[in-house]
Structure formats: structure tokens, C-alpha cells
């Protein structure tokens, strides 16, 4: 069963390369920000973002490639401009700036970069959990 979830997560991550799939992640979750001309699901998806909101951060979005998260959007913020400004090392941003000169090799690099960043994010999450458990156990041992 764990393997099945891992496969589903991997398929979902792969589908996030598609703008149309990123757009679907906003359906039924994104609350339209009135007076925010650029903060629309279509603009976010085109800029490489998918919906990653929560109760505490309902306007949180995440790049499928570099995994950068952005939130607390302001009226004149443009998702693409914000991504370019804060994600200069994002391969998706770099390739989108190339426009029509994208090769198959570029797409493969994008795929591998996305996978690398996803694995690093997972590694950091697991590392944090293990460090917290270690600290807890260390306190328990010292109190004995």
C-alpha cells in the first residue's frame, strides 16, 4: 500500500509539469482575490505554480520544479514576475525565458531537476522529523 501511494505521488508530481494539470489543482480551493488582476489560477499555472494552500496560508502556491513557495500576494503582484525575481535558479523560469528554442534535452533536464528538487524537499522533511525525534529521545534519556 505504501508503494501505491508513492507511485500516485510520483504520477502527480510528473503531471505537474503540465500547465493544465497545475490549473486543476486550484479548482474548488482557490478563493478569487477581488482587485488582484494577476492572481488568478491561470496566471499561477502559467508561471509554474500549483495550489499548495492551507488554513493558515490559503493563498500559498508552489513551483512544480524548484519547489519555491510563495504567498501573501499583494494587489499588483504578477505570479510570473515574482517567480522570475525569487526563482532565478529555477530551470522552469530559465527555460520559459528561452521561449521557442526549447529542445528535448531541455525538457529532460527540467524533468530531472524537478525530480531532484522533489527528493531534496522530501529528504529535508524526513530529516527534520528524525531530528525532532532524536531531541525528544535525548531529553528522555537525560531525565532517567
pLDDT at 48: 95
Please compute, for residue 52, the number of CA atoms within 13 A of its CA located in the half-sphere on the CB side: 18
Which residues have CB under 8 Å from 91's CB, separation 6+?
Answer: 65, 66, 109, 110, 113, 114
pTM equals: 0.74
DSSP of 22-55:
HHHTTTTTPPP-TT-SS-SHHHHHHTTEEE---S
Exposed (0-12), middle (13-18) or buried (19+): which is 106, by Cβ within 10 Å?
A: middle
pLDDT in tens, 58-69: 999 999 999 999
| Low-confidence stretches of the chain (pLDDT beneath 70) | 1-11, 32-33, 98-100
- Domains along the chain with CATH numbers: 2-143 (1.10.1170.10)
pLDDT of residue 98: 66
Q: What is the pLDDT of residue 104?
A: 83
Amino acid at each position: 500500500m505504501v508503494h501505491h501511494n508513492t507511485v500516485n505521488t510520483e504520477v502527480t508530481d510528473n503531471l505537474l509539469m503540465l500547465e493544465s494539470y497545475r490549473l486543476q489543482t486550484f479548482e474548488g480551493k482557490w478563493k478569487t482575490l477581488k482587485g488582484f488582476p494577476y492572481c488568478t489560477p491561470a496566471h499561477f499555472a502559467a508561471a509554474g505554480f500549483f495550489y499548495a494552500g492551507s488554513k493558515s496560508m490559503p493563498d500559498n502556491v508552489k513551483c512544480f520544479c524548484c519547489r519555491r513557495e510563495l504567498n501573501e500576494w499583494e494587489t499588483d503582484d504578477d505570479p510570473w514576475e515574482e517567480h522570475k525575481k525569487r526563482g532565478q535558479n529555477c530551470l522552469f523560469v530559465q527555460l520559459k525565458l528561452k521561449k521557442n528554442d526549447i529542445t528535448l534535452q531541455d525538457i529532460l533536464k527540467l524533468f530531472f531537476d524537478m525530480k531532484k528538487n522533489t527528493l531534496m524537499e522530501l529528504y529535508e522533511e524526513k530529516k527534520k522529523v528524525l531530528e525532532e525525534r532524536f531531541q525528544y529521545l535525548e531529553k528522555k534519556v537525560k531525565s532517567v
